[in-house]
Structure 1
Amino acid sequence: MPDEDTLSGQIASNVAAARTDHELRSLLLEGRDRTVIVNYGASWCLHCHELFPHFYSLAKQHPQHTYVVAQVDCMKDALQGIRYTPTFAVYRKGRKIDQFFGPSPQQLRDRVWLHSEDPNCSAS
């Protein structure tokens, strides 16, 4: 088992990188108490590179979430249900609750905002 320093690349306090299925599983397990937003992308995907600054900016705007950049080039398990890059998935308590794809910064902002609502609030 790799030591903790090599499990994931830390980009910012709430943003991490995963290059293997094991790293992604570990990050999802660590983030079970928070909403985790995963950006599934590939090293060769131009749209993935173009969207990263927007993804990182949202991490600063909504620091209550954990953000993971998953490089799918070396993953097998994580690719189940991923047909396009970039694909974004939202996890709560370790379960996927939403998934969307496409190179739209506006769609990404809208979905992060949607999942930023307090889950403990109820409509009156």
Structure 2
Amino acid sequence: MEDARGMAGSDNFTMLPLNRRVKIVTSDSKMEETLQSLKSSKAPAVINYGASWCRICSQILPSFCQLSNEFPNISFVYADIDECPETTQNIRYTPTFRFFRDGERVDEMYGAGEERLRDRLWLHS
């Protein structure tokens, strides 16, 4: 598992605190593996679909990492849509947060907002 420090080769993400709670998905094959893992898991999860060129994505990402520590029972995943073009082709807005429970997508949130995201995470924890 990669941490947020080495993510996507983008300068936007190199300054993030080291966080081993956020799984970074860097290819379509890893995204497929992650989605399969979510399907077999009973734990709640959230995937943050973003892009290195998206200013709003880079603004919410440190909060996303911090929230992963506040909600240890939720699996946190970050996927850059440019690194996973096949498996993220249905993502229309960045950032998009998808919430999973028992392997099924149960909710979706578009855009950033730390309080909105925290409220959604609380709801799904």
**Structure 2 length normalisation: TM-score?**
0.78
Is residue 2:108 matched to residue 1:115? no
Quick one: structure 1 residues 98 and 80, their matched pair in 2 at CA, closer, same or farther if it must change by over 3 Å?
farther
Per-residue deviation, residues 56-115 of structure 1 (Å, max 9, x unmatched): 111000001110010111223332431110000011232211111112111111111110
Partner of 1:71: 80
Aligned equivalents of 1:93, 1:24: Cα separation in 2: 17
Partner of 1:9: 2
Of the three residues 83, 88, 92, the one matched with 2:92 is 83
Letter in 2 for 1:19: T
Aligned equivalents of 1:15, 1:94: Cα separation in 2: 18
Q: Which runs of 5+ in 1 are unaligned?
A: 1-7, 117-124
Aligned equivalents of 2:101, 2:31: Cα separation in 1: 14
Q: Which runs of 5+ in 2 are unaligned?
A: 5-18
Identical positions, percent: 35
- Count of aligned pairs: 109
How many angstroms does 1:10 deviate by? Answer: 3.6
Partner of 1:106: 115
Whose Rg is larger? 1
RMSD, aligned CA: 1.7
Aligned equivalents of 2:123, 2:31: Cα separation in 1: 23
Partner of 1:30: 37
